[in-house]
Chains A and B, each alone.
Chain A
Amino acid sequence: MSERLLALHDLQVRYPIRKGLLRRVAGAVHAVDGVSLRLDSGGTLGIAGESGCGKTTLARAVAGLLSPSGGRIELFGEKAPQGHWPLALRRRVQMVFQDPGGSLDPRQKVIDAVREPLEAFTRQPPQARTERALALLAEVGITAQQALRYPHTLSGGQKQRVAIARALAAEPDLIILDEPTSALDVSVQAQILNLLADIHDRLGTAFLLISHDLDVIAHVCERVAVLYGGRVVEAGPVAEVFREPRHPYTRALLAALPDPDPDRPWRPETLKGTVGAPEGGVGCPFRQRCPLADARCGQETPKALEIEGSVVFCHRVEEQQRPA
């Protein structure tokens, strides 16, 4: 039943660093540095990580908005083309952006934002498109009245609903959600997360959810991949990874998250240093901040280690496992 929907093989996205008067390329930021992941149809995969870990770049590469520098993106069993995507593929992969205000054209009425994909992807007559757009907006809780207004008259949560309706208009198989609720209040976030859950249950659309908020990922996703410095450090079923995080970074990330229940202990670890731009190269990307790092972590890139359905990239974890 479940077929391979998305597969990333050693995906790399580099941004050149230009320096000096002649703007010569002096180096590169390895925003995404060899990520391999997969997502089955109807599945939900969360990409967790902090600012600069490459999660947004990853999302845009998968959405076809920027071209990878290396590796391969496979969608629906075929290699995604570089550059412009054919309409048939374009329709199947949609995205919802973080900033609900910025993703809607301020000079375009709400209904036109939803009509646009219908015009491009379907051959319906204009009247049918309008009706379909209104129906889609109604499904996400936007009234016909609101549909005729401009985006700035809507609240942040309402704008995000419109963005979701626009993504649904294409009837995609995969929706990439790039921090869809991080600009919203908790109570509004709950509404949007419920809406996403409904969509997933009803339409079986696969989600690739990018978020820094582990609670949101835990709530929405079945599987999670934790990114640091452009690489996956740990991936697996949400229940497994969050119950027993193995990578030191995943542990630190989970420990840093305070729970609203004052009875649950909060013991954040102190990490050394600060997050820098990932430079790629050999070694573990987390080694500069890792409390467990030693010489080997700088000389040798950790290999994938499978433990109970999860994958961990860490020399220390591997050494612990060895005797057993």
Chain B
Amino acid sequence: MALLSMRGVHVVVDTAEGPRTLVRLSELELAEGEMLGLVGETGSGKTLTGLAVTRVFPTPSIRLQGGSIELGGRDLAGLGERELLAVRGREVGVVFQDPNASLNPVFPVGRPLMDLLGLHRSLRGQAAVAEAVRLFQRVELPDAAALLSRYPHELSGGQRQRVMIAMAIAAGPKLLVADEPTTALDVTVQAELLRLLDDLRREAGMSVLFITHNLGVVAHMVERVAIMYAGDVVETGPTRAVLKEPRHPYTRLLLEAVPRQGQGRLKAIAGTAVPRSEIAQGCAFASRCPFAQDRCRAIEPALEGPGVHRAACLRQEEVLHV
């Protein structure tokens, strides 16, 4: 059964010329205990899709316009701000990309964690300290007890991100939204952090929405992936199937754009991404797509395909067999 089910989620930004669509998501589902890779490039709407679950957007001018976001059978999109407070942190934990910007430099790193334990689990005093130490140990931070009173600048980037993970899982959420958690880190540190995330997921039966632009990480970390382009999912399915036999031209081109040793010219994707709001009709990728035909510019494709591997492309069979 799906833990998270997002349908028709519509995120807009208010501008002087009126609201502009940033995300118009057909559907996205996440099973209990599953780690789903949400992949996309800058401006694809992958981060906003993740943030829509808790409705904490980077600026007040970005807001949820419509759609349903069901978490464990309850529609979060219908909840008010007060009710959402109980969801944030408690049912849904979030880890952001930049561990430097996420921690307040004037407080020791243990302080916000203990605040959270007080807020969500009513733990105070010695009980909170003990639990905080346990959580720090769980995210494999060395010397956990001493680290509680350290300041963010005394920690390395990888350690800070571990602190952020400890905070995100402090209340035992059912869902963890991890927004590019390792992008700011070195590769050798990234590997350890990814393994930790996967361990935590298995252990707690937690679902993880893993947002990333890194196809390599996705290939080895998640069972299922959803590729986003211009605010919507264009292809979804088991990771292996999507990466080995892509049905959407965008996925295909994205994979071919990854540089490798001894390879000649890279197959770059022509042009730049057109924002959702500027596409009147048809497929959002049509203007850059080598497979595009007239009908692609007229009909907006829906996610379809054989079984669980689906793509939003009218010519997916041709794409698959080229």
State the A residues within 8 Å of B (CB).
50-51, 155-158, 185-191, 193-194, 197, 212, 215-216, 218-220, 238-239, 242, 252-253, 256-263, 266, 268-271, 274-275
Contacts and interface: CB of A to CB of B under 8 A. Distances in A.
Contacts of A185: 41-42, 213
Contacts of A266: 216, 219-220
A242 B213 CA distance: 24
Contacts of A261: 219, 243-244
B240 interface: yes
Interface in B253-282: 253-255, 257-263, 265-269, 272
B207 interface: no
Contact of B186 (A158, A215, A239, A275): A275
B192 A219 contact: no
For the residues of A in contact with B, the DSSP-based class is: helix
B47 to A, nearest CB: 13
Given A157-B272, A190-B258, A256-B190, 16 more contacts: A50-B187, A155-B272, A185-B42, A187-B268, A187-B269, A190-B259, A191-B268, A194-B266, A218-B262, A242-B261, A258-B217, A259-B216, A260-B255, A262-B219, A266-B216, A274-B159
A212 B257 CA distance: 18
B191 interface: yes
B266 A219 contact: yes
Contacts of B243: 260-262
Interface of B: 41-42, 156-159, 186-192, 195, 213-221, 239-240, 243-244, 253-255, 257-263, 265-269, 272
Contacts of B258: 186, 190, 215, 260
Contacts of B215: 186, 260
12 contacts: A50-B188, A187-B254, A191-B269, A193-B266, A215-B258, A218-B261, A219-B260, A238-B261, A258-B214, A260-B216, A260-B258, A261-B219
B260 A218 contact: yes
Q: Which 3 A-B pairs have the closest CB atoms?
A: A268-B191, A218-B261, A258-B216
A275 B42 contact: no
A189 B257 contact: yes
Given A51-B186, A252-B188, A262 B263 contact: no
Nearest to B40: A185
Contacts of A50: 186-188
Contacts of B156: 274-275
Nearest to B192: A270
A190 B159 contact: no
Contacts of A157: 272
A219 B261 contact: yes
Nearest to A242: B261
B186 A262 contact: no
Contacts of B257: 186-187, 189-190
Contacts of A219: 259-261, 263, 266
B219 A186 contact: no
Nearest to A192: B268
A194 B220 contact: no
Given A155-B272, A242-B261, A261-B219, A256 B188 contact: yes
Contacts of A259: 216, 219
Given A187-B268, A218-B260, A262 B254 contact: no
Given A253-B188, A256-B188, A256-B191, A190 B267 contact: yes
Contacts of B269: 187, 190-191
A190 B266 contact: yes
Given A258-B217, A258-B219, A189 B259 contact: yes
A187 B41 contact: yes
Nearest to B214: A258
A271 B190 CA distance: 11
A261 B218 CA distance: 10
A125 B258 CA distance: 43
A257 B191 CA distance: 8
Nearest to A274: B156
A218 B216 contact: no
Contacts of B254: 186-187
